[in-house]
Structure 1
């Protein structure tokens, strides 16, 4: 296409994302958005935290990034860039809702799904007896003199 001097080239064409799409983000969305207020994830509140995060992710239509109902598209797919962008956003939302120690343990995890699974494994109900036993062991350790 030839552009005359003094005229501006047409803007690049952008595909509009439907508001009902899991790839839709608003101008208010950012990775540091905190959905849980002061209820940051720590060792004793996983169940409440998980419930709040699930509600927020459902409202944002992003649950598919953590429950694997929206897996990463194949390389070369038209949706791959949008998926990666939204995955990065969900990762940011999850990490922003954690205490510093937990945050540092998942900051290099590649997908929101992997962060979610890691947290479930560490803090989920199945591990409550193990966590109790570990805490009890730690609190009863003493040095012999």
Structure 2
């Protein structure tokens, strides 16, 4: 999705396309993250699924899995990407991670970096 042109970002009437991952619904403010429990070092696999489902439903999963790439600074969709990454995904992080974990990823530059760090730290499957 990197480097989308204005036509892809906006519909015929200049309004951001609701199917765009850059679209932020009025109910999608940062403190509105619907997961049952915060992610801790003991529940990563369960919370990962719940968080992914939530982000998929909000059309924001590409920001954490890396499929919605960060556009160049001169691209027309750069600010839209930055807004979604900084406000929505990082804001949702504050509601979905235990404080100690949240503090450890506080300075990650993108939501994708946060997700990759969490996967590396907690995503190891135990052999039974």
Specify if TM > 0.5.
yes
Task: Quote how far apart the aligned CAs of 1:34 are.
Answer: 2.1
Aligned partner of 1:4 in structure 2 is none
Aligned to 2:124: 125
Partner in structure 1 of residue 85 of structure 2 = 87
Instruction: Give secondary structure in 1 for the equivalent of 2:48.
Output: helix
> Any residues of structure 2 matched to 1:16-35 within 5 Å, and which?
16-35=15-34
List gaps (5 residues or longer) in structure 2.
Answer: 1-12
Q: Which residue of 2 aligns with 1:57?
A: 55
Kept in 2, the 8 Å contact 1:95–1:107? The answer is: no
Other-structure match for 1:114: 113
Q: Distance in 1 between matches of 2:43 and 2:50?
A: 11
Structure 1 residue 94 displacement after superposition = 2.3
1:41–1:99 contact (8 Å) kept in structure 2? yes
Instruction: Give the total of aligned pairs.
Output: 114
TM-score (norm 2): 0.83
TM-score by length of 1: 0.74
| Aligned with 1:70 (options 68, 71, 92) | 68
Q: Which runs of 4+ in 1 moved over 4 A?
A: none
Moved more, 83-92 or 26-35: 26-35
Give deviations 1:13-64, integer Å, cap 9, x for gaps: x941111111111111111222213x11001100000000010010000111
* Structure 1 gap ranges (5+): 1-13, 130-145
What is the aligned-residue RMSD (CA, Å)? 1.6
Larger Rg: 1
